[in-house]
Amino acid sequence: MSTAFLALGSNLNHPKQQILAAIAALKEDPHISVHAVSGLYQTPAMGPPQDDYINAAMHINTEYTARELLSFCLTLEKKQGRIRIQPWGPRCIDIDVLLYNDIQCKEDDYTLPHPGLKERLFVLIPLYEIAPQLILPDGTALAALLQKFSAEEKAKYTLHI
């Protein structure tokens, strides 16, 4: 079994229900064992003007390879109605593979760790909730990444549930 961390986000079509449906689908898959799920956080959107997001993080164990896990997540997004129209635009569901074991790679169709992981509080805060001692493959402590942000910046990310 491999270890992976996922980020989930939604700001369309009942975002809370979209996140909960994705979590349920991941729990139901026989190749995935869910170790931990963060609370749901209301977070400001990046990109063009749009509604706030609901975000969460998951720690899973899986029999899937990194590429198979990415494919499974993309399939779940499509099943929940995700249509990729506008980069950084609103979405009903987004499921990103943040980390997979200690793999560091840059391929044409995916990069591990996820390229925006270190700069996105909407990912770091829920991830820290479920894995406060996490060390990234490059040796960076998750806690050290959070220290780079001000209390004012962190206050924008509120626990929704």
Catalytic residue selected from 29, 52, 94, 120: 94
Give catalytic status of residue 91 as yes or no.
yes
Catalytic residue selected from 51, 52, 82, 138: 82
Torsion-angle region of 86 (φ positive above 0: left; ψ -120 to 50: alpha; else: beta): beta
Cα separation values, 69 from 40, 99, 115, 146, 153, Å: 22, 11, 17, 27, 32
Residue with tokens 């995935």: 32
Give catalytic status of residue 29 as yes or no.
no
Residue 122 identity: F
Catalytic residue selected from 91, 102, 108, 109: 91
- Comparing CA positions, the residue from 67, 56, 57, 62 lying closest to residue 32 is 62
Give catalytic status of residue 120 as yes or no.
no
Give catalytic status of residue 94 as yes or no.
yes
Question: Please, are residues 110 and 4 in contact by the beta-carbon 8 Å criterion?
Answer: no
Catalytic residue selected from 96, 108, 109, 120: 96
Q: Which residues are catalytic?
A: 82, 91, 94, 96
